[in-house]
Each structure stands twice: as C-alpha cells, then as structure tokens.
Structure 1
C-alpha cells in the first residue's frame, strides 16, 4: 500500500509538472501531503489539508518565501512513523526541525542545496548518517542528538565548510573520532558524548580555534589521556570530557583557555597534581575534577578564580589543608571536597559571603570547630561534615538557618547542646548527629517561624550524651520515618504523642533511662517495621496494641522491668522475624502461635517465670505458672544418667537399622516414584543417595543430596521438610509438583521425579544435577574471579528467560517468590538454570516449614511492598532479579557489606546517585582485567536495567518479558540457540537504551551529591 501511495504521489508530481498551472509551491504541497500520509495520524497535522494545496503556507509548522516552502518545523508535536526520502524534494528548504517526536527508520537527505538548519534530536532514527553531504553545502547546524544511529562517525561531514554546530551525542556511534574533524574550522559547538567511541582523542581537535563548546565523555572510552593540543582552543567556554576512563595527567596547557567558564573532567582515572596553570582561568564558573586519582594539595593559584560558583574535588587523594582563599571566593555556592585526606581546620570565614548552598567536606581528617558563618546569607541547604575529627559546639546560627534541608554531622567529636529551634527548621528533612558528645535536652518546639511545620523525615541522635525527657512536641515531626535516639541518657516516660508518628518506619529508643509503661498509643504507628525499646527502665505490661502494627519485623523489649505475660496477639504478627523479650519480669506461658514457634530460648532468657516448649520448661496449665521442680538425690541422678546412656545406645542401634531399611527401599513403608521423564534408575537408587556422606546442601526447604546412578547419570535429591501430614491432606501439593514436573525450558532446572513414603510422611524431589553449584556460591566464593563479563551477562539473560517463562508462558502463572543468586544453578558449562520455583508457595500452603526465606523471600532480595501488603507477586520476582543483576555487576553480596541496615540496592543508589553515568563506580574490580573486562556501555546498560527492576513502586518495574528484551540488546552475549525466543518490542527495548536519556549538561550527580556518602 505504501509503495502504491508513493507511486500515486510521484505520478501527480509528474502530472503537475506537465500542466501550465503547476507551480513549485504546488509540488512542495504534494510532497508534504504525502509526508502526512506516511506519518501516524496526529491532531497536530489537521491543518494540512491536501484538498487545498494552495494553503500550504498556512499549514502548521510550514513557512514559505518567494513561492516555496523554506521551513518545516514539526518539533514536539508527538508524531511518529518514518520520514520518506521524498522529503529531499523540498529543494528550497532552509530549516528542517523534527525534534522531540517518535520518528524512526533511516533518514537520507540529499540535493537540498539551501538547507542550513537540521534538528532531528530526540527521535528513534537508526542506521547511519548516510547522507550525501556534498549536496548539502549550506548546512550550518546539524543536531541528531539522542537517536539510535549505529555506525562510525560520518566522515563526509568534513565537506561541510560552513558547519558551526554539530551534535551527534546520545547515539551509538562507534569507532574512533576521525582526525579529519579537526578541519571543520567554522565549528563552534561539538557534541560527541554518550556514544560508544573508543581510541584516542585526536589532537587535531585543537585546530578548531572557533570552538566554544566541546563535549566528548559519557559512555565513550578513550585512552591516551587529554591531548595537550586542546589548550589551543582559545575561544572555548565549555569543556566536558567526563566519565570516559581518561588516564594520565591534566595537561597544564588547559590553563591557556582564558575564556573557559566550565571545566568538567570528573569520573575518570586522572592522576598527578592539579595544574597550577588552572589558576589562569579567571572566567571559570564551574570546576569539577571529582572522582579521579588526583594527588597533592589544592593549588593556591586557584585563589584568582573569583567567579567560581562550583568547586568539586571530591573522591580523590588530595592532602594538606583547605586553603583560606576558598572562604574568600565571593561567588562560591557549591564546595564538595569529601573523601580525600584533607587535614587542618575549616577556614573560619567560610560561608561569610552568604552564598554557600552546598558544603560537603565529609570523610576527611579535618579538625577544629565548625565555622559560625556558614549560613550568613540564609542560603545554606546541604551541610555534610560527617567522619572527621571536628570538636566544639554546633554553631548557634544554624538554629535560625531557615534554608537548611540536609545536615549530616555524625561521627565527629562535637559537644555542647543542640541549638534551640535547630531540629524544628521548616525545610529540614535529614539530621544526623550520631556518635558525638552532644549533651543537653531534646527541646520543645519554639515558635515555628516563617517556614511553617517541620518536614523532618530522618533524625539520628544516637550515641551522644543527651538527657532529660522526650518532649510531647515530638508529635510535630508527623512526617518522621526514622527516629534513632539510642545510647543517650534520656529519662522519664515515653510521651503518648509518640503515637502521632504515623509514618515512622524505624524507632530506636534503646540504651536510655526511659521509665513507666510502654504507651499503648505506639500501636498507632502502623508503618513501623523496627522497634527497639531495650536497655531502659520500662515497667508494666507489654501493650497488646503492638499487635496492631501488622508489618512489624523487628521487636526488642529486652532488659527492662516489664511484667505479666507476652500477649498472644503479638504471636500472630506474620511479619515478625526477630523478637527479644529477655531479662524482664515476664511470666506465664509463651505464645505458641505464629512466628513464636521459630524463636529460640535466648529470645526469652532471664524471665524465670516464663514457661513453654521454647524454654524447655513445663507449665502448670491450670495456673499458667512454671511447675515447681522437685529436688533430686545424687543416687537418682546416677541411675538416671546410666538409663540415659542405655537409651542412647538403643536409639543409635535403631537409627542404624532404620538407615539400612531405607537403603533396602522399605523405609518403614513402601516408597512410590512418580517419573516426569524416562528414567534409567528406580526408587531404590534414589533412596540409596540419602545418606550423610552425599549431603551437598541444607536449608529451610530440606536437605539436598548428590547421587550417581548405575548408568553414570548424576542427580540431585532434595528431601523436603514440613510437607504432608498424618491426616493425608497434602493441600494440593502433589498436583502442584506434577505441574512443575511438566515444565520444559532450557533455563529451568528439570524436575525428573517425585518420590513419597506415606508411612514416614517423607517427600523427595529428584532434579538434574548442576555441577557448578549456585551462582551465589560461585560469584561470592573463591571462583568468583573466573566469571568474566561475557559469562555474567549470559547468566543474566538465561536466568531472565527462565523467570520470563514462569511468568508469561505457564498457565497458571508461576511466581517464584524466592529469586536469589543461590537459586540460580550453573551446569557444567556455566549455563544458568532457575531452581526452587514454586517451592515457596508449597511452603506457605503445604506445611509448617522453617524456611522463612521461602515464605517472604530472602533478606536483601525482598521487595519493599511486601512490608505493606504481606503479599508477593510477579513484580516482587522482578525486584529480586534486579538485586541479582546488581550482584553480577558488583560482585558483592546483597547484605552484610555496606553497614548496618544498608543493602546492595540502597548502596548502589547512594554510590551512583541513581545516574547511569556513575555505574562504573560500583563495577566488580575483578572485571577490570583484559580477559574478563566489562565494556562500559554494557555494564551501564545492565545497571540501568537493574535499577528499573528495583523501583520502589512495583507498577514502575518492567515485566520479565521486557527485562529479557532489554538484556538481549547485545547479541554477542546471547546464549546459543536463544536469539529467536522473543521478538523485541519497541516499547521498551528501543526507548530505554543506554544514552537515550543522556542530557547535554549532565547534572544528575550534582542534584544529589550527598547521596554518594
């Protein structure tokens, strides 16, 4: 149909040329009418009335001069489709703007001798720039930013001698930067960032003496350092060569760029000293050399940079003191020097200019006091000085700093009291003062001031010397999510207004002197997951209202003076995985419901009047008290011991006989085998495997044995715990297992058979054996270095395909519920297979297993919505898979390596600022070698997919089908035979590619700089 339409249009054009009444404008109108037909219907083009071609000059986006169409501007009109090559028939077109739409396909331009301005940025054009550039001699502006062009940089551009603006950024151009680009003498703007370029930055670019802006970094990977020839660009205003793995020194020749206002060289591998010649850049406004390996001191020559507003030198190896001149820079707004080895004191006059907005000097070795004028102009928003050796009081002026939003002063030696009003500042969202020597009281709320109510969300005052009562005005912090007051000297009762903290998630009042009852109002804190009131002087009963906090995960009431019994209703909290009631005055019978059956005796120690099976203490069931023990004579003890020894011997003999009976195949009853494939072994062979010498794993779901069959086949035998029952009701377990046995997929561990023994109530699953164990064992063990990037990427794709099959191709859908690296098994060739799918459902529905991880997921992999809904679905699996991707990318475990309460998702967000450009910061160091190296573009892409999967809102996560599509964008990593399993869809695979969201002025790391700490 499209060819027919094109033929008709061309026929009309030919006919028009033969008519005396035909005009070039009519020809232009017919071309535009054809263009409308090939584009998707859009209200924006309703004015293009092909029945009245003479009105073409009044059509939206069309301008005419001297009887010809000279401008076509369809930018940001939400049109889609492909642009036909016939557009080249608009011979007098001067301006062509198609930016910000959904146009795709290949675009070719030729013979448009008047064309001066082309902007097709923000679309989906692909292929290469196969344009006939010699036939576009007037072209001055070419902007193809943020498309999908995949080709070497076009060499034909060097023919465009009038070209002054060239933007090829945010695409997939590969290869080297042609040295011939140095011949574009009229060029004033050159953007090549956000591609897949390699090699050296050609020194010939130093010939572009008219150039004012140059962008080369982000996703590109250059070697050979920064060419000194760039120092010849005397008219340059902006130089951005960030995030492209540059090494070597900063050439001192850059000091010749006297017109330079912005110099960004951050996130590279630059070393050596900061050149003193940079002090010559007296026009400089923004200087960012952060995240490199620079050494030495901050050069005093920078004192002449009076226009400097941003100075970022963080994450280097600088030493020495912060020069006094920094405080005298009159326009300085952002100063970030964190994570260096700086010593000495903070300049006393820092902030006196009244313009400082962001100050981060954390993780250094600074001493002295905090300057008192940091908020002189009430502009200070972010103040981060944690992990230093600062002493003295918090400046009183900060108590009236209405602009403050984030303050982190923890892990210093600060003393004195908290300034009045400081905690109640209206814009304050985060305050960290932990691990200091701050004394005084938690003051009542004074006049709220002009800013209105507080917005504080996180408050950490732990490990200080604060005393006195907790004020009732704590209720003013209605948006508080984290309140940490542990290890202080607070006293008095816990105010009833604590129940007004409806959003608090973590509440820690431990190691203080609080007394009186636990207020029942604490049950109103419905979002609470962590509650620690231990090591206080609390008394009275445990309020049953705590059971109303349905998502409570951690509860510690130990080492108080609590009395009476533990409310049975608390045992009904399904989310409670850790509880401690030890060393109180509790009495009565322990609850035997809910999670209490999993807690050990240490959770209740130090309560002599408590009784129950967990304490191995019998109860007087009529009174609920502990049954008194009788005194036992020494002779009776001896007789009892001898009897116990005889019983032990008899028990051991019985166990041996029992084991032999298993090996004979009777097991006290008849074993039954249900095979799901043709097997070369029988049930006796399976039972023979189940002996201690063959154990290869233990977990909450059961014990796993490895067995070798008579024909040489290797199998894995999982003996399940907690399934079935004497009643004969299996809750549909066998039907579910039969469903799993029928699953066929190359990336799913094959279930070969199911064995059961009704007499002993034993169920066994027989799987194919995976020789290389689990991904978690390999990745985090000694063999982790053997997993190069290509293998890791392939494992990611294979595991994603397995989950995709469970979610999208099984009827009914199978939700795994416990996706983790230990449940991704590797065969002899390190191909990935998803294991233990469906077991979590069985554990929940089929029996009382101790495998808590399978019920709710494993710690570190659990999606955040589980805390609110207590349910898991397929998007919960997607979150867990995102954690596995971060494991593959970083080589780190999900928890335990990032500090208390921080998991790999939180750490990755903080370290990268959620920016793709910073993904290489978290890359596994074992992937830096030549053999196992990860191409930066691919590593960034995996990070991007992982962060999509771990979105807080489950609705915003992709489906596993979309995950497979995104991961399949690098064909060389696809496992053999798997390329045709899915057909990529443009909705995700094309719109969410690396580079697609790259902004010309990459500022995401500046928006959240303190998250990097």
Structure 2
C-alpha cells in the first residue's frame, strides 16, 4: 500500500534535519580544532583526546554537550595554557553557555567578537596575561558569572554593559589596572549578586548607601583602591556577608553602627585606613575567623568578648592606639594561628593559652607596655615560627623549652627586664635564624649548644649579664652574619673558630673582659664590615691579617695591645680606633710613641736570624720537592701521552688528540675545580677551546670518582659526585642548540678524562652583572641574554627527545660569547628524565642557594618547574642588577622576597630596576620583571612552562603601557596574588 503524501513529506523533513545536524556538528568540530591550534599546552596531555577522528567531540577533555550533542560548556581553567583565543569562531558555537579559561597564561586582546556569545551564562577569563581594554558585552544579558580578575585589562571598563545583566550572581573584576572611576551605579541594581570582587581596580570616591540593596551578598571586596569617606551604615543590612574586605583605602570615621548584625561574618579586613573609635561593634561577631584592622587609629580596650571567639584564627590589630589588657581567654577555645597586636599601648600580661590547640605559628606583641612573665605554655608550642615580645616590660625567666622550639625562626625579647640563662635547649632550635635578646638582665654562661643552632644568621646578645667564655665552636654557625656580644661580663679569649663564619659582616664584643690575642683568623672573613673589640683586656700584637679587611668600622681601643700598628691601619679613617692601648707604637700615628729604632733593629736582627734559619730549611725541602715534582711532572706528561685514550667526538672537530694533550700545561690553566683543572687551549687553526681535565685517581692510584663542573669562561668550580661527569657527557653530547654550550668531544683514559668545549671569552653573566664589567652590559644586551637563555632552557625541556632538567640554573652557568650571546652551561647536575620514569622528578638535592625553588623546603622531588624558578631569579638579576642573596635585602631575605616587598606602588616597582637601565627601557624591564615573578611562583604548578616564558619574553619588546603591579594580603603580611597566580 503506498504511503500517504504527508508521510513522505515528514520523512523528507527528518532527512533534511539529519543533514543539517551533521553539518552543524562538523562546523562545531572545526571550531574546536581551531581553538586547539591556537593554544599551547605545557603538559601536552590536555588535548590528547581532541582528535578529528574521534567519534564525538563531546568526549573531548573540557567539553560538555547538551542533549542534542551541541557544545554547551568549554571548561579549560587551570590548564597551564598559553596562546590567544579565537573568539570569532568560538562564539559561533550555537549552544555555548559556559566559557572558562581562568588561571592560564593566555595573552593578546579580547575582541568585540565576544559580544556574539549571546547565550553565555558563565564567562571566566580571570588570571591571565591579556592586554588592552575589555570590550562592551551588553549583548550577554544572560550572564550569571563574570570573572575577569587579574587579567591585566586596562583602560575604561564598560560598566554600562552590566545594565542588562540583572541575573548576575558573581562579578569579579578586581586586580586590573583600569582607569579610575567612582563606584559603578550599574552594580547597585544587581539585586541577585552574591559575590562582588572589585579590589585593586582603581575605584574612587565613597561607598554609596545603595550598597545596602545587595542583600544577597556573601562576599564584598573593595580593597586596595582609593576610596574615601565613612563606611556606610547600610553595610549592616548585608546580613549574609561571609567576607568583608576594605583594606588599603582612605576610609575615615568609626565602625558603623549595625555592623553587629553581620553575625555570620568570618573574615573582616579594614586594615591600612584612617578609621578610629573603639572595637565594641565587633563584640557580637561570634563567627569571626580572621579579623585584621592594623594600621588605623582605633583606641580603647580590646573587648573582653574576643576571648570567647571560638573560631578565631588570625587577629591583627597592630599599629593602633589600643589600651588596657588583652582578654586572658583569648585563643583559649580556637585554633589560633596568628596574633599581632604590636605597636599599641596595651598593658597587663600575655594571654597564656593561645596555643592550647597546638596551631599557633606567630605571636607578635612588640612595642606595648605588657608586664609579667612569658607564660610557660609557650614552651610546648612546637608550631611557633615567630615569637616577638620586644620593647615591653616583661620580667621573670624565659621558659626553657621556648629556646629550643623546633620550628621557630625568630625569638625576639629585646628591651625587657627578663632574667635567667639561655638554656641548652637552644641546640634543638634547628630553624632559628634570628636570636634577639639584647637589653635584658639575662645571665649565666652561653651554652655550648648555641653552636648547634646552625641556621642562625643574626645573634644579638648585647647589654645583658652573660659571663664565662664564648662557645669555642661558635664557628659552626656557617650562616652567621651578625654577632653582638657587647656590654656583658664575658671573659676568656675570642674563639679562633669565628674565622670559619664566612658570611660574618658585623662582629661586636666590646665592653667585656675578654683576654688573649686577637685571632688572626678574623682577617680571613671575606664580608666583615664592622669589627668592634674595644674595652676588653686583649693583648699581643694586632694581626697583620686585619689589613686585608675592608672595614667601614674598626674599634680596638682600650685593650692591652702591644707592638707596632700595621701600616695599613695607620690611616686617618681609624683615628681613635686604637687609643687606650699604651703598648702600641707607630711611625705614622702622632698620638702613639714612635717605635724605638734600637728595638726595631733588635727585632729586625731576631727576625733575620729566624727567617734565615727557616729559609734554609725551606730551601732544602724545596729542592727535594722540586726534584720530585719535576720527575712527577715528566711522568704525568709522559703518562698523558703514553696512556691509551678513547676519543668520542660529538661534532666535527678540526683538532687532534695530541694537540689537546700537548696543551694541558700550567701556563694554559684558567680554573681549578675540586678534582681537576680547566685549560684554555689555542688551536693551530686560530680557534680556542676550553678543556676540562678530570683525574679519576689520586697519586696512589685510589679511585676518586670525582669530576669538576667549571664555568668554562674564567673560573671553575668543583663537585664530588662521579655521576656529574657522566651526566654532563650524556646530556651535552646529545644537545644541538645555539644557546647551549657545545661539547666537541670527550677524551678518556683509565686515570683521567678530558672534555673539550667551545671557549666563551666573555665569562659568565654573573661576572657581567656583579663585577666591574657591569656598566658594559646595557639593557638591549640583557634582554637578548634573557631571551637566548630562555630558548636554551626551552630546548632542554621541550626540544630534546627526553626532558632534560638542568637543576643548577644560575647566572654563573650562563656563559657569554664574543657577541654576548648566552650559552647554558655546567650540566654536572643535569638529569635526563626517562620516558617511563614516575612523575619525571628527581630526589637528589641540587642547586645553588638563592636560586633553589621553595619546594626543596618540603620535598626533594623536583621537576622542570624548578628550573623555571631558578631562571626567574636570573631574570630578576638582569632587571635589578642585584645578587640573589644580598645584605641590603635584610635578614633571611632573598631577591624574590625583596621584590615581593617592593610591589606596593608604581614608584616602588620602578625603584627595583637597576640604575644602569636608562629611563627609556624601564617599561620593558618591568615587563621582564613581571615574567620573573610568574616564574618564581611558590607552587610549581603555577609557574609557566619555558615555552611560555620564551613567548612572553619575545612579546615584552612590543609597546605596552606600564602596568601597576598589585599586591594582596596573607595574614598581616602582603603577598603577590595576581602575578604569582595564587588564589584569592
């Protein structure tokens, strides 16, 4: 029976719809594949499923489809992506409701094409590296979530776009350098808004009273703007608030009445404003977890009710005018982690139970009027990292266990009335870096265990009543930079071991009863800048070794020193520094008696006799040694040529084995390492090479298993691991890149090995930045070095058949050729990661202090992101001209922390740029600094890949407005947020 006509029509319609559906699916597939081609994936796994031959793009990672198989969501946040977005095609996806690319490294501009994504309900482009202004998106009237925070958008934000977005639930635009504007009226009408993040985006003027209309708000952040006026009472209508952040503005007046209504508020921060009055309005906020009101003008007492806050973790009230005692129950019921009430006028005693839950990390109460003893409970607070109660009126004895807390980094009880000894417990304080106990009444002998606290950098024990000797092994404190022992009752001698404290820059033992001679070992301290040994009973001659020091301050006055003043110390700069030593004489200093000619003659004769005797003995021994060494040298020379050598070439070479062997002579030596030497060899063809000679045996024939890892430029440095030689050969022999040092060949025998490299005549980047050559390295050269070195590392991480982790990236391992083109060198610690290795990480501790990534603090597992961190430090060196570790940074700070502390304003950011960089290049230097900060993110997964770093550096040459670098807060300290990619 024939089908009805209308049934045929129905079939035709279904077939037509089927064809349309297939065509639409094909279009969507092409759009997704275009998106894939526009992005770079540093982990190389994300787009593994994005294949044109796949059965359905709905199974692509990050893609969600609707019921009819059309793309509804693209969720690719936190995927370490770089590149730009092809919005012209993305917005052709007909069913797209969610577009999320937050927390990546995307760049470029956002085009007007975004307006075509009219069905979007969720848009997240936050925490990226975009440039330019953000376009008008009025057509996106269905938006419920708009996240653009921390993406480096600039210009005027199109606030009017928000007018039609009445369904917005979350609006996050903060941490962008927009042009200044008042609080946007368009926001006042977004009645469904739950999350409003407008921090650090140039909002000016007052908070309008209409803010009270946004009754659904859970989070309100207006921090780090330029807002003024009083906090409106209408804030009290926002009873659903969980977080209120108003810090770093210019708010005035008192906390508004009605703030007590915010009973579910957990986080309140109004720090760094001009607020005044008391804190009584906060008594009712029983759910507070973090309260930060520091640097204001608050007065009155801390409400007693604060002692009942059983959720309180962070309390920061420093820099106000608070009076009266602290609630004694403060922190008793909560997992208290941080308290800072410093710089007030508080009285009474320290609350005893703030570490009841064993979670307190920092107790800071300095510069108040506190009395009483330090509570005994804190001796058991093993989580404490900072304990500072200086400049109070505390008394009694420090609880013994407090000295030995295992995690404490600073103990500061300076300027109190505390008595008793420093106990032997201090030997357990393995992380203690700063010990400040000056101006107290402490007594007893300094414990020998002090020398076991090997992390100590600054020790200030002056103006107490310590007696007895200075611990003999104090030289074990290898990190010690400052030691002040003045104005005590110390006796005995100055330990010779102090000469082992190679970082010591400030030594003061004045006003004690020290005796004996001044140790000549003090003259070997390379960084000693201030030396005060005055007002003691030191005797003997002034060591000639002190003449080698470059001191800005020297005081040896009022001792019992005798003999002639060394000529180098007989200068006007040290006038008065030697007075009070009647036994001294000088031919140059007028207030000393002239050294007696007769005595001088007698001394000279005695010296001549001694020297003649010693000289005769030395000559005799020397003749024997010379004969032995000549014979040995001949044997070695003969052995070099007579040994059986295995030559492996990795490039076409134009020299012979004999030409290299003949050049291993003393006159060609340019560097020495722990187990071998480095030679500069001029070849017959006029070219030069660097030869590293590693001995595998000592003179007795015993295996040494050592190799050197020199810089192949001007200096060498040593290592003691046999694996380093193998790693260097294995790594370099397979590498072909213009920015990686070239290994021509290896020449090995049973007893020694020779590695022949290209010779780099301009030494290392360290030499150029931190020595007298610095002025010759202009910004263009620095920029080219940065890009070239980045490309070398990019090749190691992405271009080799197997990933190569260098593990010791630093400026001294970046060598420069005759045109200042960089080469990555020194692969003694490098690791080739096997393709089947577990998680491509290494357990071996490697690297150099100042360049080592922070993950070493909690794990020895490192990967290529550790190289990225180290390279970020090198970039900071290039921009600032500073060394990674520099005394000017302050105690326990490296260049990364120093730069973090200087990101407060445009002026402070510009201030870190090296003064040798001309004004015209400073904007570009800031862009490179921005990349360096991304590279040194604390969490490895937040650092860009070296491929992304190269791309960003190359784009840094493009003209762009100098952007203000922003900061946020963590506890009472500030940290980089946008630039380092951390979560708000």
Which residue, 166, 173, 178 being the options, matches 2:154?
173
Check 1:600–1:302 CA distance in 2 against 1; reply closer, same or farther (3 A cut). closer
Partner of 1:464: 440
The answer as to 2:602 corresponding to 1:607 is no
Check 1:622–1:987 CA distance in 2 against 1; reply closer, same or farther (3 A cut). farther
Which residue, 520, 527, 539 being the options, matches 1:544?
520
- Please give the secondary structure, in 1, of the residue aligned with 2:295: coil
Which residue, 499, 504, 507 being the options, matches 1:531?
507
Partner of 1:919: 904
Shift in Å at residue 514 of structure 1?
0.5
Q: Distance in 1 between matches of 2:251 and 2:466?
A: 50
Check 1:989–1:152 CA distance in 2 against 1; reply closer, same or farther (3 A cut). same
Mean CA deviation greater in 537-546 or 159-168:
159-168
The answer as to 2:226 corresponding to 1:245 is yes
Q: Distance in 2 between matches of 1:325 and 1:584?
A: 59
Check 1:28–1:578 CA distance in 2 against 1; reply closer, same or farther (3 A cut). same
Q: Distance in 2 between matches of 1:276 and 1:57?
A: 54
- Please give the secondary structure, in 1, of the residue aligned with 2:162: helix
Q: Distance in 1 between matches of 2:548 and 2:490?
A: 27
Partner of 2:173: 192
Q: Distance in 2 between matches of 1:323 and 1:602?
A: 56
Partner of 1:130: 112
Paired residues of 1:194 and 1:995 also in contact (CA < 8 A): no
Deviations 1:471-495 (A, max 9, x none): 1121231211111000111111112
Where does 1:901-980 land on structure 2 (aligned, <5 Å)? 919-920=904-905, 938-939=906-907, 942=910, 946=913, 963=922, 965-967=924-926
Q: Distance in 2 between matches of 1:336 and 1:968?
A: 34
- Please give the secondary structure, in 2, of the residue aligned with 1:397: helix
Partner of 1:25: 25
Q: Distance in 2 between matches of 1:431 and 1:496?
A: 23
Partner of 1:255: 236
| Unmatched runs of 5 consecutive residues or more in structure 2 | 1-16, 604-773, 786-848, 851-872, 930-950, 976-984
Q: Distance in 2 between matches of 1:202 and 1:994?
A: 25
Check 1:915–1:327 CA distance in 2 against 1; reply closer, same or farther (3 A cut). farther
Shift in Å at residue 54 of structure 1?
5.3
Relative to the length of structure 2, the TM-score reads: 0.62
Q: Distance in 1 between matches of 2:354 and 2:953?
A: 53
Where does 1:891-910 land on structure 2 (aligned, <5 Å)? none
Check 1:626–1:174 CA distance in 2 against 1; reply closer, same or farther (3 A cut). farther
Check 1:462–1:321 CA distance in 2 against 1; reply closer, same or farther (3 A cut). same
Partner of 2:126: 145
Paired residues of 1:146 and 1:996 also in contact (CA < 8 A): no
Shift in Å at residue 210 of structure 1?
1.1
Q: Distance in 2 between matches of 1:959 and 1:62?
A: 48
Which residue, 804, 807, 813 being the options, matches 2:779?
804
- Please give the secondary structure, in 2, of the residue aligned with 1:490: strand
Where does 1:764-775 land on structure 2 (aligned, <5 Å)? none
Shift in Å at residue 255 of structure 1?
0.4
Q: Distance in 2 between matches of 1:178 and 1:39?
A: 30
Partner of 1:210: 192
Paired residues of 2:107 and 2:131 also in contact (CA < 8 A): no
Deviations 1:133-165 (A, max 9, x none): 3x43321001121345555554433x3332110
Paired residues of 2:36 and 2:47 also in contact (CA < 8 A): no
Which residue, 454, 465, 474 being the options, matches 2:450?
474
Deviations 1:303-360 (A, max 9, x none): 2211101111110011111111111112111111111111111222222224222111
Which residue, 583, 588, 592 being the options, matches 2:567?
592
Check 1:176–1:806 CA distance in 2 against 1; reply closer, same or farther (3 A cut). closer
Partner of 1:94: none
Paired residues of 1:140 and 1:163 also in contact (CA < 8 A): yes
Partner of 1:236: 217
Mean CA deviation greater in 988-997 or 193-202:
988-997
Where does 1:331-730 land on structure 2 (aligned, <5 Å)? 331-445=311-425, 454-573=430-549, 575-593=550-568, 599-616=573-590, 617-620=593-596, 623=599
Paired residues of 2:132 and 2:153 also in contact (CA < 8 A): yes
Between the two proteins, the alignment pairs up a number of residues equal to 675
Q: Distance in 2 between matches of 1:59 and 1:996?
A: 38
Deviations 1:191-220 (A, max 9, x none): 1111233221134422212111101121x2
Paired residues of 1:358 and 1:382 also in contact (CA < 8 A): yes
Q: Distance in 1 between matches of 2:106 and 2:156?
A: 21
- Please give the secondary structure, in 2, of the residue aligned with 1:87: helix
Shift in Å at residue 521 of structure 1?
2.0
Shift in Å at residue 190 of structure 1?
0.4
- Please give the secondary structure, in 2, of the residue aligned with 1:478: coil
- Please give the secondary structure, in 2, of the residue aligned with 1:516: coil
Q: Distance in 2 between matches of 1:583 and 1:625?
A: 28
Shift in Å at residue 904 of structure 1?
8.2
Which residue, 273, 293, 306 being the options, matches 1:292?
273
Paired residues of 1:204 and 1:229 also in contact (CA < 8 A): no
Partner of 2:666: none
- Please give the secondary structure, in 1, of the residue aligned with 2:259: helix
Q: Distance in 2 between matches of 1:992 and 1:491?
A: 63
- Please give the secondary structure, in 1, of the residue aligned with 2:235: helix
Q: Distance in 2 between matches of 1:266 and 1:917?
A: 18
Check 1:491–1:615 CA distance in 2 against 1; reply closer, same or farther (3 A cut). same
Paired residues of 1:310 and 1:332 also in contact (CA < 8 A): yes
Q: Distance in 1 between matches of 2:56 and 2:253?
A: 66
Q: Distance in 1 between matches of 2:37 and 2:18?
A: 24
Shift in Å at residue 184 of structure 1?
1.8
Partner of 2:53: 52
Check 1:961–1:430 CA distance in 2 against 1; reply closer, same or farther (3 A cut). farther
Check 1:989–1:506 CA distance in 2 against 1; reply closer, same or farther (3 A cut). farther
The answer as to 2:93 corresponding to 1:87 is no
- Please give the secondary structure, in 1, of the residue aligned with 2:202: coil
Check 1:994–1:336 CA distance in 2 against 1; reply closer, same or farther (3 A cut). farther
Deviations 1:795-827 (A, max 9, x none): xxxx999953797899xxxxxxxxxxxxxxxxx
Check 1:905–1:271 CA distance in 2 against 1; reply closer, same or farther (3 A cut). farther
The answer as to 2:285 corresponding to 1:305 is yes
Q: Distance in 2 between matches of 1:470 and 1:908?
A: 28
Shift in Å at residue 234 of structure 1?
1.1
Paired residues of 2:490 and 2:514 also in contact (CA < 8 A): yes
Shift in Å at residue 939 of structure 1?
3.9
- Please give the secondary structure, in 2, of the residue aligned with 1:389: coil
C-alpha RMSD over aligned residues: 4.3
Where does 1:879-894 land on structure 2 (aligned, <5 Å)? 882=880
- Please give the secondary structure, in 1, of the residue aligned with 2:521: helix
Mean CA deviation greater in 436-445 or 67-76:
67-76
- Please give the secondary structure, in 2, of the residue aligned with 1:131: helix
| Unmatched runs of 5 consecutive residues or more in structure 1 | 1-16, 89-108, 628-798, 811-863, 866-874, 885-900, 921-937, 951-956, 971-982
Q: Distance in 2 between matches of 1:199 and 1:172?
A: 15
Deviations 1:279-314 (A, max 9, x none): 10001000111100001111x232221110111111
Check 1:904–1:494 CA distance in 2 against 1; reply closer, same or farther (3 A cut). closer
Q: Distance in 2 between matches of 1:161 and 1:805?
A: 48
Q: Distance in 2 between matches of 1:393 and 1:142?
A: 57
Q: Distance in 2 between matches of 1:349 and 1:1007?
A: 25
Relative to the length of structure 1, the TM-score reads: 0.60
Check 1:161–1:275 CA distance in 2 against 1; reply closer, same or farther (3 A cut). same
Where does 1:809-848 land on structure 2 (aligned, <5 Å)? none
Shift in Å at residue 363 of structure 1?
0.5
